[in-house]
Amino acid sequence: MLNAKLKNYKLVLASGSPRRQQFFKDLNLDFTIRLIDVEEVYPTDLKREEITNFLSILKANAHQNFIKDNEILITSDTIVWHNDEALGKPKDFDDAFQMIKKLSNATHEVVTSVCFLTTKSCKTIFDVTEVTFNELSDEMIQYYIENFKPFDKAGAYGIQEWIGFAGVREIKGSYTNVMGFPTDKVFTFLSTL
């Protein structure tokens, strides 16, 4: 459906995330993947969507010299925001354990920004979803980390995995946003081009 509307454009997804790539496939979008490693460092005074906006634009800017006239380059970044702190990807087992322990029996926000870069413009959208976990025992956290190795996920968890089924009590907002990509907002944005 959207492919016909976007027939004059070539979508380029600049993400190595298998989940984001699958979302594009599930939306029936024709796209290519282009990857450039970017050091994801942001100013320490940024908060919430300021962080994800900054990082998604930073990732897009790495591609600026390679983008063609008919391309829409799409980058994205996700963080877990809890108690005025950004939780990114864990460094190791202990880091993952501490992150999930912080989220146990509490509500946090998952913030995702998506940047759309063309040769003429750079636009960014973001979404915020509230997620509430039940109390998670140390055994549950250890089992999850050992079996699912969530080291590539913001906040050290994937809601689509075991811990999401066993531990999430409530979600307010977009489920796909918690997985790292607010598909409805991306679809709506692309529909307006």
Question: Domain holding 179: CATH number?
Answer: 3.90.950.10
pLDDT tens digits along 54-82: 999 999 999 999 999 999 999 999 999 99
Tally of domains in the chain: 1
The more confident residue out of 118 and 1 is 118
The helix/strand/coil state of 99 is: helix
> Parallel, antiparallel, or unpaired for β 10-13 and 71-82?
parallel
**Domain hosting residue 114, numbered range:** 2-191
Average pLDDT over residues 9-13: 96
Taking the model in full, what pTM does it have?
A: 0.93
> Residues with catalytic annotation?
77
- The contacts of residue 89 (CB under 8 Å, 6+ apart) are 151, 152, 153, 154, 156
Residues 8 and 12: their CA atoms lie apart, in Å, by 13
pLDDT of 1 above 90: no
